[in-house]
Homo-oligomer: A and B are copies of this chain.
Amino acid sequence: MAIICKLEPTLMNYIEHVYKCNRHDLMAFRPFILENIKLGNIRHEFVNKLLAFKDVFKEMGTAITLSKNLKSFSTRNHAISEVVNELILQGHLPKLRNEFYPVTTSFYKPPFFQLDRAAVPYFGVRAFGVHLNGFTKNSNGSLDLWIARRAKDRLFCPGMLDNIVGGGQPIGLGIMENLIKECTEEASITKDLSTTAIPVGAISYMMETEAGLRLDTLFCFDLKLSDDFVPKNRDGEISNFYRWPIQRVAQIVNDGFEFKFNCNLVLIDFLIRHGFITPDHPHYTKLIKGLRF
């Protein structure tokens, strides 16, 4: 009986991560529309804050949009940046991250404007990132994964477990350029090594948070590391690295919430692609579909 009691929640938890990353109630939000295209979702209270800036934001039926005077990328950036700064002063937005994200419906379309990373979830617009699975294959065929622990002074998820490398995708940087940059900063992985990382797909989710709505797509990479490689953090984001057997990582993901929320999806994707979660798992097809919003 004890085993059955253990088994049931164990089989549940992979899917709990999918549910957790996709929990949202769009009734709490108003569509954010520009040039007749829906770009995001803004919580009702934040809509009211934005509408106070009459030269920048307008109502359009049930939606909110930008003033028609703001036609170009640069005029929009300028006007929105002023609003963001004012809302920070008023205490309605957290301090700037000084990293700009493109505001767009697809990574492959030109952005309508750019937004400081701190404001992105408040507008509920799409955001993109890169995450890396760094692993070693042992001589006996077993697989170890390198896992990071986030520094305790991090704004988000301090002290939680993380992928060896992960980062947001700022405007103007290619995906591979960004991966190389993050590999250097977060784990001292050389450019020669990081360019051997294999792009293996992407996961995406739509998650309601205190700030608003996160609609994130994470481009995933696998990097085979040599047995003697040891990552070293440079930018202060990571306090420790661990080299753990994949079974241990799978157990941690399965059993709870020690990893930063979205890393669980990156790891479930890894476990599926490498055959550690098999078609016998009762949520196999649900997990596969659930990893892509």
Instruction: Give A residues with C-beta under 8 Å from B.
Output: 106-108, 174-176, 198-202, 204, 217, 219, 272-275, 278-280, 282-286, 288-289, 292
Contact of A279 among B202, B279, B285, B286 (CB under 8 A): B202
Give Cα A274 to B220, complex, Å. 12
- Taking a contact as CB atoms under 8 Å apart, the answer to whether B106 and A204 are in contact is no
Task: Return A15 CB to nearest CB of chain B, in Å.
Answer: 12
Interchain residue pairs with CB less than 8 A apart (12) = A108-B282, A108-B285, A175-B280, A176-B279, A176-B280, A199-B272, A201-B272, A201-B288, A202-B285, A204-B289, A273-B273, A292-B292
Decide yes or no: A198 and B275 within 8 Å by CB, A106-B285, A285-B106, A292-B292 being known contacts.
yes
- Taking a contact as CB atoms under 8 Å apart, the answer to whether B292 and A175 are in contact is no
Interface residues of A, dominant DSSP: mixed
- Taking a contact as CB atoms under 8 Å apart, the answer to whether A198 and B285 are in contact is no
Beyond A201-B272, A202-B284, list 6 extra A-B contacts (CB 8 Å). A108-B282, A198-B274, A199-B279, A204-B285, A273-B273, A292-B292
- Taking a contact as CB atoms under 8 Å apart, the answer to whether A200 and B288 are in contact is no
Q: Which residues of B contact A201 (CB under 8 A)?
A: 272-273, 288
Q: Which residues of B contact A280 (CB under 8 A)?
A: 174-176
Task: Return A173 CB to nearest CB of chain B, in Å.
Answer: 12
Q: Which residues of B contact A202 (CB under 8 A)?
A: 279, 284-285, 288
Contact of A278 among B199, B273, B282, B289 (CB under 8 A): B199
Task: Return A205 CB to nearest CB of chain B, in Å.
Answer: 12
- Taking a contact as CB atoms under 8 Å apart, the answer to whether B200 and A279 are in contact is no
Give Cα A225 to B153, complex, Å. 49
Q: Which residues of B contact A285 (CB under 8 A)?
A: 106-108, 202, 204, 217
